[in-house]
Structure 1
Amino acid sequence: MSQVHDYKSRLSDPASRKFETFSYLPPLSKEKIREQVEYLLKKGWNPAIEHTEPENAFDHYWYMWKLPMFGETDVDKVLAEAEACHKANPDNHVRLVGYDNYKQSQGTALVIYRGKTV
């Protein structure tokens, strides 16, 4: 059996905190983020962009960047909104959420920009 790793994510160390599944992997390249947006749109999920200060990421709701992009099918438009949110809030974490209309829940959520941690 392979050895299980302890991902040293601690509340006392903001730089170590993990958010969503992909945060346990190496940072996603722009191409990999694009692939995730393509997947989200192919599933028919509605993309939304959210952001929050790193110190509030665990115990607060994230702020919604505009309204969810209902019915959006253009990958570049989703990526442009994510980039605009990041530029407007450079110190915040920014995540992409895919809302599944059928299940009325999030189909996916992943942090695509990490804010500055102290």
Structure 2
Amino acid sequence: MQAYKQSLKHETFSYLPQMTPEQVRRQIAYALAQGWNPAVEHTERGTPAKESYWYMWKLPMFGEQSVDAVLAEIEACHREFPNHMVRFVAYDNYAQSQGLTFVVYR
């Protein structure tokens, strides 16, 4: 068993290699197909204490059905905060929880 450093691993897919743009697109498409509401969050890189709080980029995109619109917001957040980690979050209204979340920019 290998121990991982806390600062290197974040969220659902963090133990896998970095996702390609097409894989990111497919994950977002899946979340939208489930009827989940997308959102974008960001945080500073640094200590684990800082990484436990994520700032919301704008409001969640309630009812958004366009993968391209979601990707545009992810890119806009990354341009605004180039040194921050940026993640995609999909909120499940029925379960009232996050249905999916993963870091797009580490």
TM category (shorter chain) comes to: over 0.9
- Report the AA paired with residue 10 of structure 2: F
Q: Which protein has the bigger strand share?
A: 2
Matched letter for residue 98 of structure 2: Q
The alignment partner of 2:13 has SS state of: helix
Identity among equivalent positions (%) equals 57
* Structure 2 unaligned regions, length at least 5: none
Correspondence 1:38-117 to 2 at 5 A? 38-55=29-46, 56-58=50-52, 61-114=53-106
Question: Which structure's CA Rg is the greater one?
Answer: 1
TM, length-normalised to structure 2:
0.93
Structure 1 segments of 4+ aligned residues over 4 angstroms from their partners: none
Q: Distance in 2 between matches of 1:82 and 1:7?
A: 31
Query: Tell me, what secondary structure is at the counterpart of 1:24?
Result: coil
Partner deviation per Cα, 1:45-95 (whole Å, 9 max, x = no partner): 00000000012113xx21100000000000000000000000100000000
- Partner amino acid for 1:57? E
Q: How far apart are the structure 2 equivalents of 1:20 and 1:8?
A: 13
- Alpha-carbon distance between aligned partners in 2 of 1:94 and 1:107, rounded to the nearest angstrom: 17
Q: CA RMSD in A?
A: 1.0
Deviation of 1:7 after TM superposition, in Å, equals 4.6
- Among 26, 40, 46, the alignment partner of 2:17 is 26
